[in-house]
């Protein structure tokens, strides 16, 4: 949400990636930055037993990024994704790009093309 504030962008338009993990691997849940991931909803949607990944796991996965700046496109890191349906209603979506100073601006048609093969649902609270 810090990036949204600094960029003067409404927080609901900034998609944040939250990394989850279980014995089968990692999943990135993409939700508006002013919301929290509902892990139970993600688990129900994916039929898994995910929990938040450790900070150490996140640092290892995104070692080319600034600490705490999780890029929002998990598929670039070969990480399965699920995204919240509310992001489909924004005409423009912003995503962290791996640092705390730059946001990617993506229009709705481009966002929908990027996410067309990723699962989605109501996964935030």
Domains of the chain: residue spans and CATH: 2-119 (3.90.960.10)
Rounded to 5 degrees, φ, ψ at 32 are -60, 145
Give 13-65 pLDDT, tens digit per residue: 999 999 999 999 999 999 999 999 999 999 999 999 999 999 999 999 999 99
pLDDT at 99: 86
Per the CB < 8 A criterion, the answer to whether 32 and 18 are in contact is no
Rounded to 5 degrees, φ, ψ at 50 are -80, 155
Regarding pTM above 0.95, the answer is no
């Amino acid at each position: 949400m810090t990036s949204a504030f600094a960029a003067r962008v409404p927080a609901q338009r900034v998609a944040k990636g939250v990394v989850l993990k279980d014995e089968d691997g990692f999943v990135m849940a993409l939700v508006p930055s002013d919301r929290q991931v509902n892990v139970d909803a993600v688990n129900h949607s994916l039929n898994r037993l995910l929990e938040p990944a450790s900070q150490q796991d996140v640092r290892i996965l995104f070692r080319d990024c600034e600490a705490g700046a999780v890029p929002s496109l998990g598929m670039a890191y070969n990480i399965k994704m699920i995204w919240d349906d509310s992001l489909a209603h924004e005409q423009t979506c912003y995503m962290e790009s791996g640092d705390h100073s730059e946001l990617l601006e993506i229009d709705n048609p481009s966002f929908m093309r990027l996410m067309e093969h990723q699962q989605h649902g109501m996964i935030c609270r």
